[in-house]
Amino acid sequence: EYLLKGGLLFNDYSLIEQFKTLYKAVIKYMQHEFWYIWVNMYTGLPAIPSVSTLDAFWPSLQILIGDIKSASKTLMNFYSLITHYGFTPELFSLLRGQVQQRSEVYPLRPEFVESLVYMYRATGDKMWRTMGKQVIDSLELSARTACGYATISNVVTHQLEDMRESFFLSETTKYLYLLFSDEHWVFNKGLSDENVTVTEGLDRDGYQICA
């Protein structure tokens, strides 16, 4: 992830070349019907025939390199879990076709919605927003409590855990907001800007002083 994004950010083609080398290995050894399984890092042989909810970030990288078709198929795979369970479990066994034991939790992770943002921005297809709307509906139906949103401790029973990870607010809700935002400044590609002049509340180095 950081090889690709670092290469794009710093215009460093050597980083992108490293990513391309690893990308070929991922496709060769890890891809299974557009899921990506865990493999032995030395041999490339399958280690755990399961997929993680964290893997849902992968389509966003594929979109950045223009592999929209593969990204779309992987997103549809993850969406199939959401339509079945309401959420993506921490681990799903491809061998058994069910949630991995002791991995039924969904701690309100952002990766699937993150990839939806990339896909919608790349294609403009409202189907991806519809998927995001289902994520919101699931959160409202099963994760919302009187004082916020709670971790789903079991995606099968929708039992809640009395906690919430900080990334729900810093990432999951951010990506949901961006998915349905048409004109947010993060999408302007640097083609426009706005100068803001601040004359008060700065220290001698130009940093804003906070009380």
Express the helix, strand and coil content of the chain in percent, nearest 5 each: 50, 15, 35
Helix axes 68-85, 127-138, angle to 10 degrees: 30
Whole-number mean pLDDT of the chain? 92
**DSSP label at residue 202:** B
Among 64, 175, 184, 170, which residue's Cα sits nearest to residue 117?
175
Q: What is the per-residue DSSP string for 162-188?
A: S---THIIIIIHHHHHHHT-SS-GGGS
In which residue are the tokens 């030395």 written? 42
Note the pTM of the prediction, 2 decimals.
Answer: 0.88
Among 74, 63, 68, which residue's Cα sits nearest to residue 35?
74
pLDDT digits (tens, 9 = 90+) for 160-192: 999 999 999 999 999 999 999 988 888 876 666
pLDDT digits (tens, 9 = 90+) for 132-163: 999 999 999 999 999 999 999 999 999 999 99
Catalytic residues: 90
